[in-house]
């Protein structure tokens, strides 16, 4: 399958999904708790159904893995779906939520598309093709290539973490980045230098691993590998990454 065709399919499907999610967001929905204690709304389910129906027709041999409805099929090509990332934001009418999709081929994330409809922004990346940001709906003429920072010294670094416990593990000589609802976006824009997030699932991480890597950064999970299914890990620019891994006592990575 041609990667250009796959990217266009991801764009087209994400745009339709984003429109559905935005309609729910603007009308207002309430969240309930799933068995694992995380919130879910009818929008999450409706958006994932749209992704599944569209992708099953367009790529019937591919597998699908979504947060709400689990895995469908077996293939070395798997579409990873997070229909509404940031459901807690979504349900309280905060615009900082995203619709996320990634395509993994043979264990490698090859395509990522993240859309923030309420912010009117989107981000995408292809393996070896770079990472980009534009307004949403996409305006190719306005798209900007993303690059992480080049900071190389802890004393000059701005480091973010998911919570206080994680923040306490970062080098004290580095400055904490201001609190943000979207630290990974700030990372790929070069506005901060690292983000430690040792939590969540593959659908939360998959698109961001590729976006960060294609913007020139690195991701290492808590086992020292690069897969997104090990409960998160460290995202950072390339210059600081190895030193941060040592400071965090992460296993040596390949």
- What's the CATH code of the domain at 218? 3.40.190.80
Token output for 216 = 């020139």
144-to-130, 141, 236 alpha-carbon distances in Å? 10, 9, 20
Question: Do 107 and 206 sit in the same domain of this protein?
Answer: no
Closest by alpha carbon to 62, among 100, 5, 104, 7? 104
Token output for 30 = 């309430």
Domain assignment present for 78: yes
Domain assignment present for 253: no
Going by their DSSP bridges, the two strands 77-85 and 217-221 should be labelled as unpaired
Q: Is the pLDDT of residue 160 over 90?
A: yes
Question: Do 38 and 125 sit in the same domain of this protein?
Answer: yes
Q: HSE on the CB side for 45, CA within 13 Å?
A: 9
Question: Do 129 and 211 sit in the same domain of this protein?
Answer: no
The whole-chain average pLDDT of the chain stands at 95
174-to-17, 155, 169 alpha-carbon distances in Å? 39, 5, 11
- What's the CATH code of the domain at 88? 3.30.540.10
Question: Do 193 and 138 sit in the same domain of this protein?
Answer: no
- The answer to whether 204 is a known ligand-binding residue is yes
Q: In this predicted structure, what is the pLDDT of residue 29?
A: 85
Assign 109 a pLDDT band (cuts: 50, 70, 90).
very high
Buried b or exposed e, range 216-241, using 16+ CB within 10 angstroms:
bbbbbbeeeebbbebebbbbbbbbbb
Question: Do 36 and 114 sit in the same domain of this protein?
Answer: yes
> Could you report the per-residue pLDDT of 165-222, keeping only the tens digit for each?
999 999 999 999 999 999 999 999 999 999 999 999 999 999 999 999 999 999 999 9
Question: Do 126 and 237 sit in the same domain of this protein?
Answer: no
Question: Do 188 and 243 sit in the same domain of this protein?
Answer: yes
Token output for 215 = 């913007």
- The answer to whether 67 is a known ligand-binding residue is yes
Lateral strand order in the sheet of 121-126: 70-72, 63-66, 77-85, 98-105, 108-116, 121-126, 130-135, 144-145
Helix (H, G, I), strand (E, B) or coil at 81: strand
Q: The whole model's pTM is what?
A: 0.96
The percent helix, strand, coil of the chain (3-state, each to 5) is: 35, 30, 40
Structural domain ending residue among the three candidates 92, 126, 145? 145
Q: Give how many domains the chain has, as a whole number.
A: 2
Structural domain ending residue among the three candidates 114, 145, 176? 145
Helix (H, G, I), strand (E, B) or coil at 216: coil
Which range of residues forms the domain containing residue 214? 154-248
Question: Do 26 and 119 sit in the same domain of this protein?
Answer: yes
- The answer to whether 82 is a known ligand-binding residue is yes
Question: Do 164 and 82 sit in the same domain of this protein?
Answer: no
CB of 52 within 8 A of CB of 65? no
Question: Do 129 and 193 sit in the same domain of this protein?
Answer: no
Question: Do 138 and 167 sit in the same domain of this protein?
Answer: no
Domain assignment present for 231: yes
Question: Do 34 and 137 sit in the same domain of this protein?
Answer: yes
Distance CA 211, CA 117 (A): 18
Domain assignment present for 254: no
Structural domain ending residue among the three candidates 118, 145, 172? 145
Task: Give me the mean pLDDT over the 136-150 stretch.
Answer: 94
- The answer to whether 163 is a known ligand-binding residue is no
């Amino acid at each position: 399958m041609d990667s250009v065709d796959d990217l266009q399919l991801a764009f087209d499907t994400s745009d339709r999904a984003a429109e559905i999610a935005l309609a729910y967001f603007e009308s207002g929905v309430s969240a309930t708790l799933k068995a694992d204690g995380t919130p879910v709304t009818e929008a999450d389910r409706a958006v994932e159904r749209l992704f599944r129906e569209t992708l099953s027709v367009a790529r019937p041999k591919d597998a699908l893995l979504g947060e709400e409805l689990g895995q469908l099929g077996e293939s070395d090509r798997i579409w990873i779906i997070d229909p509404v990332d940031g459901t807690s934001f979504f349900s309280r009418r905060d615009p900082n939520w995203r619709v996320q999709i990634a395509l993994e081929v043979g264990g490698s994330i090859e395509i990522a598309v993240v859309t923030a409809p309420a912010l009117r922004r989107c981000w995408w990346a292809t393996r070896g093709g770079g990472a980009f940001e534009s307004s949403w709906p996409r305006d190719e003429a306005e798209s900007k290539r993303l690059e992480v920072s080049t900071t190389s010294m802890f004393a000059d670094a701005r480091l973010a973490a998911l919570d206080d416990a994680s923040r306490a593990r970062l080098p004290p000589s580095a400055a904490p980045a201001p609190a943000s609802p979207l630290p990974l976006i700030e990372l790929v824009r070069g506005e901060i230098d690292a983000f430690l997030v040792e939590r969540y699932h593959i659908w939360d991480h998959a698109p961001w691993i590729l976006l960060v890597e294609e913007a020139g950064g690195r991701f290492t999970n808590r086992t020292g590998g690069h897969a997104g299914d090990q409960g998160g890990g460290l995202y950072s620019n390339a210059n600081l990454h190895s030193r941060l891994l040592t400071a965090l006592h992460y296993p040596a990575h390949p």
